[in-house]
Structure 1
Amino acid sequence: MNQQPHTPDILECLANLSNDEVFTSVTTANRMLDTLPTHLWSDPNAKFLDPFTKSGVFLREITKRLIKGLATAIPDEQERIDHILGQQLYGIGITRLTALTARRTLYCSKDTTELEHCLTDIFAQQGNPDGNIYFEPCEHTFHKGKCTYCGATEKEFGAEQRTALEQHAYLFIHNKNPYKEMQFDVIIGNPPYQMSDGGAQASAKPIYHLFIEQAIKLNPKYICMITPSRWFAGGKGLDDFRESMLKNKQLKEIHDFPDANEVFPGVEIKGGINYFLWDREYHGDCLIKTYEKGECISALKRPLKEEAADVFIRYNEAIPILRKIQSFGENSFSKLISSAKPFGLRTYFKGKKEPFKGAVKIYINGGIGYIKEEEVLKNHDWIKEHKVIVPYAVGSGDSKTDKVNPIYAEPNSCCTETYLVIGPFATEKRCRNVMQYIQTKFLHFCLTLKKNTQHSTKEFYQFVPQQDFDEEWTDEKLYRKYGLTAEEIAYIEKMVRPMK
């Protein structure tokens, strides 16, 4: 029996432009569209906007649904296509290249006046070669070296630096939206994620939240976007955005993928990916769905903000465990942890390789060294104390497998900013008990509730409770103390897999 040759979808064959401007797969686009009410597909008056279209996948898949859904309302197929493309679908390209790509995807022609290939002649009649996919070059508006709209630095994105290059001044968030007077039923898409901020080592700041905020201002009926999940608990400059999202009762669904490779294979996005549905008429708790290896492993409708938490707890099964722990009213372990650069010494500080009279041992990146006490810039009183130090950077950023390895730092020692200091403590025994506690799965579980990056500041230990460190602590003892059920213990044991 002869098999029909497989014709691949061209939109599944496109290479990503960069790590922050990735193409959405057809499968993911349709999963996002599935969150929208089905009545939209049979509504000839519904209007859809992708304000950062790249491949045009969202607009194409919406078109396919409308062609089927409007068959009764508009029986003639060509008339139906003309209506959908001319009056229901709109897009804004993020670059000239993506605008051309989206037109080719949606209209089958990058120039809609070329009737040989274009699916409709309505734009040719208007003398409009771009159709409803808009793009025009846009300049950043700089004030004191930064763009007032997106925060791009003049050093990186000034006109002189970007000659013959894309400005990445996105129309939707630069007050250049050509459709801002229209009322849309749905704003959907995959916004740019970040932009270089001129810092060291290709430092970048997130910008996807600016697109979400702008979409909410337009007040459509529905917003559906796919973004990094870093905003759940971290992200540079995202504190105000996170607070507003956690208080937003119009967030109806969040579909969370802790492993971003499940959505964007080969693209590293620390903290995972999620897509969400915002519903203007909804007011209530949010349905949280978590996915692993292509399957939904958890679904629960719950508040986005837990009491005494300033972040979003992404794992549904963790909520009852956290509530049990917090019911004890104990101080946070984070109060025992220093801020970054505890002794004022940078990572590259090494000291001497061999000890000398009056030397202070210093724990450095990759080993130990020896320095004079007067070289320590702050917290001199800690030098003579017993203390524990832990790395500031831990693992890869996957808190389920990252393992915190504590070190006992004896009296007459200090460290560079490679480490954070825990303590100080009166005795070595207390330090050893602290170290044993740090090595429990219980503590690492508490870390997963907030940690989603390699860097582990004291704030990431917020949900770890303090213990009486005159005692030794094991997982079994901690499970008994907090009254965890067999199912809750099994969840922690399965979830936390610290790498050795």
Structure 2
Amino acid sequence: MSFLTSEDTSRRASFSLRGRNPDVLTCIANLSSDEVFTPPDFANRMLDALAEAWAADNEGANIWADKKIKFLDPFTKSGVFLREITSRLTEGLEKEIPELEERVNHILTKQVYGIGITKLTSLLARRSLYCSKHANGEHSIVKGFDNDSGNIWFERTQHTWDGNKCVFCGAGKTVLDRGDERETHAYAFIHTNNIKARLAELFGETMQFDVIIGNPPYQLEMDSSGQNVAPIYNKFVEQAKALEPRYLSMVIPSRWMAGGKSTGALGQFREVMLNDSRLSALVDYPVSSEVFPGVEVKGGICYFLWSASHKGPASVSMIRGETTFGPTKRSLNEFDVFIRDPRAVDILKKVLAYSEESFSELVSPRDPYGPALGSKFKEFRESPSVGDIRLFMNQGQKRISVWVDSKKATKNRHLIDVWKVFVPEAASDGGQRIPSIVLGKPIVAGPPSVCTLTYLVLGPFSSQQEAASAQSYYATKFFRFLVSLRKITQHATQSVYTFVPKQKWSKRWSDEELYKKYKLTHEEVDYIEAVIRPMEVNDE
């Protein structure tokens, strides 16, 4: 396999290893679903987009023919971005630096830089780029280094603990305070308050990178439960912007578009991204396995291109299977979340034009009746005792109705002796498969009753008839379509119901009535019908 991977490898035989097919970087296993290797063809799509933007902004200039441009992958794993950049520069600089060895030495010592995320990936990246895990080794194709690392830096970094959390990345001490024998996952790029000074330390001089590009780690565990994880890819984006590059392009999970709490780190990141006029292009893949075969990233994957000189709408594309929607010029901040499918925007605008109250006002927060009634609650009874009330819960994959002491409910006691609808807090897969069910089946529950935190509560309603009316509305494709615009992962928290308008609870609702009420066109109806699965419900 030639480290340059271009069509004219015969002209570069002295810098290639022959007979390796297919490309080894298409065959290596991912570290995890949070540290994912980027396939070479996908890296090249991002580099193509970068080159097009550079040419558009620089009177048609070829970025690969400029020997002064500096590139950084600050979280390199396989080295694929650096390798493909080097391939393009080797071809593009042929006229300016005709002698191949001189050209390669210039590119690898003056233009292409990386920071490994682990010791293993730093060795792999050097092997991909220099054809040797030692930059100054006898098999290295570059002769300008006097150290093993070359321009791909890695040293073990430690977390900075404040109590049980790292002050830089928020990682849990109980999970990642591991000693010397295991990786710390304290990524150097985000473990500093002054990234410019830190890079000067790493590379021995003040660095100004024109292009920062790569695929950062996605999340870290906050404690030993395995359930409490927090995104960190947003920290890499923010740190890269602090370096003031001319262009920035990253592969990140799409869940920033609508996921996370609005007041949390991801919500703050979303607000910044949607209001950043320098975001020039956004390419969204709702099905992550179409980008990373065999890897499921809830909510999908996207990459963006950020240009320091860009002002205005972004060019947005959504790709699902063989179908591409876009690119279309869009203002990203029309709503507080990003509506990833452009066909949905006009429908949503029609609904919001009625200025009706939001259905989310009828939806309880997570953990509706208090922490005692957790998803693994076991203190229930098959038959009632004095003071017991009905409890709805899941046992394995089965829904059951049992009995529990009413004192176990410590929150929202006003939602005990009323009619309501219980709905699953987690359901579906965030649109990975189309048509999607979006939400789990509802349960109409009479007084007195409660549920475990497996469910949220819709209500209160004044009668069984009102609760049944709300249940029928919930089951419509119209209702679940509006939820899907905000539900980008499997979790259906209170906020995903924000776009759904309230109705009057005097009758059973149907899609036909709702389509007519909001004056949807035949094309819009066909679109909703195609992407949302039907739901059959029964009163329970």
- For 2:387 and 2:151, the matched residues in 1 are separated by 75
TM-score by length of 1: 0.93
Partner of 2:180: 163
Partner of 2:8: none
1:70 aligns with 2:99: no
Partner of 1:381: 414
| Cα drift, residue 499 of structure 1 | 7.4
Cα offsets for 1:258-280 (capped at 9, x unmatched): 00000111112100000100000
- Matched to 2:425, the amino acid is Y
Q: 1:147 to 1:6 in 2, by over 3 A?
A: closer
Partner of 1:392: 425
Equivalent residues in 2 for 1:452-491, closer than 5 Å: 452-491=488-527
Aligned match for 1:121, one of 129, 132, 143: 143
| Cα drift, residue 162 of structure 1 | 2.9
- For 1:202 and 1:361, the matched residues in 2 are separated by 28
- Matched to 2:168, the amino acid is Y
Partner of 1:314: 340
Q: 1:299 to 1:499 in 2, by over 3 A?
A: farther
Q: 1:367 to 1:133 in 2, by over 3 A?
A: same
Q: Which moved more, 1:461-470 or 1:271-280?
A: 461-470
Conserved in 1, the CA contact under 8 Å of 2:72 and 2:114?
yes
- Matched to 2:233, the amino acid is Y
- For 1:283 and 1:181, the matched residues in 2 are separated by 28
| Cα drift, residue 174 of structure 1 | 1.5
Report SS of the residue matched to 1:238: helix
- Matched to 2:284, the amino acid is D
Partner of 2:45: 31
Partner of 1:426: 462
Cα offsets for 1:92-142 (capped at 9, x unmatched): 111111111111111111112223x2212111xxx2222111111111111
- For 1:199 and 1:451, the matched residues in 2 are separated by 27
- For 1:379 and 1:59, the matched residues in 2 are separated by 55
Q: 1:305 to 1:401 in 2, by over 3 A?
A: same
Aligned match for 2:151, one of 132, 146, 151: 132
| Cα drift, residue 385 of structure 1 | 1.6
| Cα drift, residue 496 of structure 1 | 1.5
- Matched to 2:311, the amino acid is H
- For 1:154 and 1:187, the matched residues in 2 are separated by 30
1:219 aligns with 2:221: no
Conserved in 2, the CA contact under 8 Å of 1:288 and 1:302?
yes
Partner of 2:375: 347
- Matched to 1:119, the amino acid is I
Q: 1:269 to 1:364 in 2, by over 3 A?
A: same
- For 2:405 and 2:147, the matched residues in 1 are separated by 74
| Cα drift, residue 5 of structure 1 | 8.5
Q: 1:417 to 1:317 in 2, by over 3 A?
A: same
Aligned match for 1:438, one of 465, 470, 474: 474
| Cα drift, residue 238 of structure 1 | 1.0
Q: 1:389 to 1:273 in 2, by over 3 A?
A: same
- For 2:298 and 2:41, the matched residues in 1 are separated by 22
| Cα drift, residue 28 of structure 1 | 0.5
| Cα drift, residue 359 of structure 1 | 3.7
Report SS of the residue matched to 1:122: coil
Conserved in 2, the CA contact under 8 Å of 1:338 and 1:422?
yes
List gaps (5 residues or longer) in structure 1: none
| Cα drift, residue 200 of structure 1 | 2.1
Report SS of the residue matched to 1:83: helix
- Matched to 1:118, the amino acid is S
- For 1:388 and 1:204, the matched residues in 2 are separated by 30
List gaps (5 residues or longer) in structure 2: 1-17, 56-61, 193-197
- For 2:409 and 2:34, the matched residues in 1 are separated by 40
| Cα drift, residue 57 of structure 1 | 0.4
Report SS of the residue matched to 2:486: coil
| Identity percentage of aligned residues | 47
Partner of 1:290: 318
Report SS of the residue matched to 2:265: coil
Partner of 2:4: none
Cα offsets for 1:301-349 (capped at 9, x unmatched): 111112xx32211111111111111000011100011112222232233
Aligned match for 1:210, one of 235, 251, 255: 235
Conserved in 2, the CA contact under 8 Å of 1:250 and 1:279?
yes
- For 2:159 and 2:451, the matched residues in 1 are separated by 43
TM-score by length of 2: 0.87
- For 2:118 and 2:280, the matched residues in 1 are separated by 31
